Amino acid sequence: MEQLKAIISWFQNSDWAHLLFRIGLLIFFILLGMIILDFFINRFHRASKQGIEDPETLKRANTLIRVFKSVIFIIILLVGLMLVLSELKIDIKPIIAAAGIGGVAIGFGAQNLIKDLIAGFFLILENQIRVGDVVNIDGTSGLVEDIRLRVIVLRDLSGALHIIPHGNVSKVTNLTYGYSYYLFDYGVAYKEEVEKVIGVIKKVAEELRVDPNFKEDILEPVEILGLERFEDSAVVIRGRLKTKPIQQWRVGRELNLRVKKRFDQLGIEIPFPHRMVYFGNLPETLLKSFLNQKEVKDEKN
């Protein structure tokens, strides 16, 4: 009760105009300091990037800078809060003590927060993912837009934003770490010569590799893994093309387009399901004509 009276007395006797001016000035300098610090960190970051040629090192630097800025700003805000409390003549020692006692009560509730922070620390320390990577986290795929102290921010192909706490991450698949592969399966008809088809694919891939628009993104000649499997109407040839990170889809789409055009030019058949429908009242002569056409096609295949 006496403490409550002391607080009421303090509010009644304080020079509010002078106090508010000091607090406002303090907040102004805190915000100004954050803006200036942000400017110099960004300037240092831009200057340091000029000497970095390795894209993987650049991703690592971008990630660390973002995390460093977050930590610095949190520290500044905490210090600013302490200064504001000091201006209000509020003794922070009881607050710290109360926080310690209250921490026991809310400890179970804060477990997830601590778990997120620790998991995020090791995720960044071990360089598992970086800003700019394309990853799959427990079934959610997307581009890493930001890595914060507590969460990872992903943007998927449809534009949806996924915010994943570090503590919820159990499996990370990085699709763009160091290099990437475009894996392809091309199905051709059984009548086609597999060696000939493989030669055509290699030639098309090599033409793509020396194309000025793609040669910087393709790291090695195409690798044909061989005849992968037999399907109902096709034999499937599998191969892969090594590319720079994130470029595998762009390169792969162009390879598919060129292979399709070349197959069409050379008459290499890409089979697809056929269906012939017979009507119940179809004349016998027309039915025989359809059956004869089917037999001719079967003989050709």
pLDDT, position 6: 55
Domain shared by 156 and 102, yes or no: no
User: Residue 157: which CATH number?
Assistant: 2.30.30.60
Number of domains in the chain: 3
Of 143, 158, 174, the domain-final residue: 174
pLDDT, position 137: 92
pLDDT, position 210: 94
pLDDT, position 279: 58
User: Residue 185: which CATH number?
Assistant: 3.30.70.100
User: Residue 93: which CATH number?
Assistant: 1.10.287.1260
pLDDT, position 282: 54
Please count the residues of the chain.
Answer: 301
Domain shared by 138 and 196, yes or no: no
Of 142, 159, 174, the domain-final residue: 174
With respect to residue 114, please indicate whether it lies within any of the assigned structural domains: no
pLDDT, position 45: 66
With respect to residue 90, please indicate whether it lies within any of the assigned structural domains: yes
With respect to residue 189, please indicate whether it lies within any of the assigned structural domains: yes
With respect to residue 291, please indicate whether it lies within any of the assigned structural domains: no
With respect to residue 80, please indicate whether it lies within any of the assigned structural domains: yes
pLDDT, position 271: 87
Domain shared by 132 and 97, yes or no: no
With respect to residue 13, please indicate whether it lies within any of the assigned structural domains: yes
Domain shared by 148 and 209, yes or no: no
pLDDT, position 249: 93
Domain shared by 210 and 154, yes or no: no
Domain shared by 160 and 188, yes or no: no
User: 244-268: per-residue pLDDT in tens?
Assistant: 988 999 999 999 999 999 999 999 9
pTM of the model: 0.62
With respect to residue 75, please indicate whether it lies within any of the assigned structural domains: yes
Domain shared by 93 and 6, yes or no: yes
Domain shared by 16 and 96, yes or no: yes
User: 207-219: per-residue pLDDT in tens?
Assistant: 999 999 999 999 9
pLDDT, position 128: 84
With respect to residue 279, please indicate whether it lies within any of the assigned structural domains: no
Domain holding 56, by residue range, is: 2-106
Low-confidence ranges of the chain (pLDDT < 50): 105
Domain shared by 127 and 207, yes or no: no
